[in-house]
Amino acid sequence: MENRKYSCATATETLEWIRAIIQFIKPYTFFWQSHVVNFLTHRLWEAVDEEWIDCLRNEPVECLIQIPSGIVQDRWPSSLKKFITTLSSLAFPREQADLKKLLPNMQVALLNNVITQGMNPKKRHEIEALAAVVGSVARDVETNTIIDLGAGQGYLSQVLSFEYQLSVIAIDASSHHGRVTHERAERIKKHYEAKMRKSSLGGKGVTIPRTVTCRVLSSDMLTTLLNSKDGDERCQNQSTNDTCPLLLTGLHACGDLSVTMLRAFLESEEVKAVVSIGCCYNLLSEEEDNALCGFPISSGVKSTGLHLGRNSRDLACQSADRWKVMENDASLHNFELHAFRAAFQLLLSRYFPETLSGSPTIGRQGKTLRRQQQNSRMNGLATNGCSCKPDSTSGKDEHVDTCSLFEKFSKSGLHRLNLNQPHDVDFAGIWKEAEPFLEVIGPYWSLRAALGPVLETLILLDRLLFLQEQGDSVEAIMVPIFNPNISPRNVALIAKKI
């Protein structure tokens, strides 16, 4: 946090940062409360400073994808540069922390090929770092028992169990995940038993994570689970202490689950620490009358009366680091997909207006269109490297290819919505109507994406403040523990009772 204007070392500093974010973003609700699918139907670009749009419509794509990272060009209007750089200054820094400096007692286990079987490079990177952090915090609070919430296929649980010799309970809502976790752990156990037999330790002491299938809907439910018979059994090897200290953790626990962990940490006497990395902010509950909603949870943010909404929370999932390293053709493809989706929304408003009231979603159709684009060698919606407008030098054939792709996209969308295609639908006409405005969809989406890291910062600071508001009984920090280029959701919330 060195050399930055804002800090979150205390509740006062965190609240100051939060208020600065809210004050800055409020005039730009037209960005963060909108949805890019309505780009054409709501003429969203008209709300943006005309000077900004005129400037960015001719910028190459490599400049546009740097905007969410706060990188500006000298030739841009001063007001545009100020908007982008201010957003960057308000966002929590995502560079991976020096974990050994932060946690001097941290020991990093080098994972072998047996325990990492099935992990992709991203997962391996995440598990290796998070397991080391959890192991360090567990030693600090003198616990040997870990609750892995939203355990999935048990990768983290198994590393904590086999490499860090911790007692682990893996909780997940999916019974399939529970079976996979148990079966995988049994296979890995054989390797570690054989390894120990070759050593002076013999074959004793190898235990596998206990799996529990449960959909944790509230902190009360989690606390009850922790105090259940299963909870007593997990402590049978503990000393004769009256209570069994626990550490709660979760790698990318989805939506409200990350918040439930924090509440359970405060409400359960047994839970001495929590290491939480959240994700899927779009799935957070935000009901105004629900005291146990997922956002906001701190008294400080609640007092501001801020309501983000689904579109804003979805925007918070955008990663500036992912944008920055994206190749130009992949960036153009993303802009193209947004163009197709916006034009499809125009088609729905024309032929199926009643469907729009339900905010229809058609899922991701990118891979298929990507293959079709590559096969046809379509440069498509690009002018000067970034525009979604067909290149005037490309001729009619390429325009026809673009229209053809839009038609395929639309037919697939109608099928996914269980809508019958009208006989009189004019795909080419819809595309022709949309085309004059599509060259600004890239600039618009880039500017909107620049708000993503700040909105995520706001959500994370709300969680940190919630813990800081408990006073001197809790010590909490927020730290990026992964390489953001590998794992964009890299901020861990680490809290201990003191």
Query: What is the CATH classification number for the domain harbouring 151?
Result: 3.40.50.150
Reported residue count of the chain is 498
Q: Is residue 402 part of a domain?
A: yes
Say how many domains are in the chain.
2
Residues 193 and 134 in one domain: yes
Distance between CA atoms of residues 345 and 354, nearest Å? 12
Q: Is residue 480 part of a domain?
A: yes
Q: Is residue 282 part of a domain?
A: yes
The stretches of 358-451 forming alpha helices (DSSP H) are 366-376, 396-416, 427-434, 441-449
Residues 311 and 347 in one domain: no
Query: 3-state DSSP call for residue 275?
Result: strand
Residues 349 and 422 in one domain: yes
Residues 266 and 291 in one domain: yes
Residues 215 and 232 in one domain: yes
Q: Is residue 202 part of a domain?
A: yes
Contact 131, 164 (CB under 8 A): yes
Model's pTM, two decimal places?
0.89
* Chain mean position to CA 412: 27
Residues 220 and 299 in one domain: yes
Task: Return all residues near 69 (Cβ < 8 A) that are at least 6 apart.
Answer: 88, 320, 321, 323, 324
Q: 413, 429, 449: which is the final residue of a domain?
A: 449
Residues 297 and 331 in one domain: no
Contact 458, 14 (CB under 8 A): no
Q: Give the count of alpha carbons within 13 A of 272, CB side only.
A: 16
Residues 190 and 132 in one domain: yes
State the DSSP string of 219-251.
HHHHHHHHTSHHHHHHTTTS-S-SS--EEEEEE
Residues 165 and 268 in one domain: yes
Residues 303 and 156 in one domain: yes
Taking alpha carbons only, the member of 206, 214, 135, 147 closest to residue 178 is 214
The amino acid that residue 463 corresponds to is R
Which structural domain range is residue 275 located in?
99-315+452-497
Q: Is residue 244 part of a domain?
A: yes
Residues 202 and 350 in one domain: no
Residues 135 and 247 in one domain: yes
Cis bond before residue 296 (omega within 30° of 0): yes
Q: Kindly give the confidence (pLDDT) of every residue in the chain, 498 residues in length, as a single tens digit, with 9 standing for 90 and above.
A: 445 678 999 999 999 999 999 999 999 999 999 999 999 999 999 999 999 999 999 999 999 999 999 999 999 999 999 999 999 999 999 999 999 999 999 999 999 999 999 999 999 999 999 999 999 999 999 999 999 999 999 999 999 999 999 999 999 988 888 888 888 888 998 888 888 777 765 555 678 899 888 888 777 777 777 666 454 455 544 444 456 899 999 999 999 999 999 999 999 999 999 999 999 999 999 976 677 899 999 999 999 999 999 999 999 999 999 898 888 888 888 899 999 999 999 999 999 999 988 888 887 665 555 555 545 544 444 334 334 343 434 445 555 588 999 999 999 999 999 999 988 899 999 999 999 998 999 999 999 999 999 999 999 999 999 999 999 999 999 999 999 999 999 999 999 998
Taking alpha carbons only, the member of 323, 435, 424, 443 closest to residue 386 is 443
Q: Is residue 76 part of a domain?
A: no
Query: 3-state DSSP call for residue 214?
Result: coil
Q: Is residue 38 part of a domain?
A: no
Q: Is residue 25 part of a domain?
A: no
Beta bridge partners of 492: 479
Characterise 418 by phi-psi region: left (phi > 0), alpha (psi -120 to 50), beta (else): left
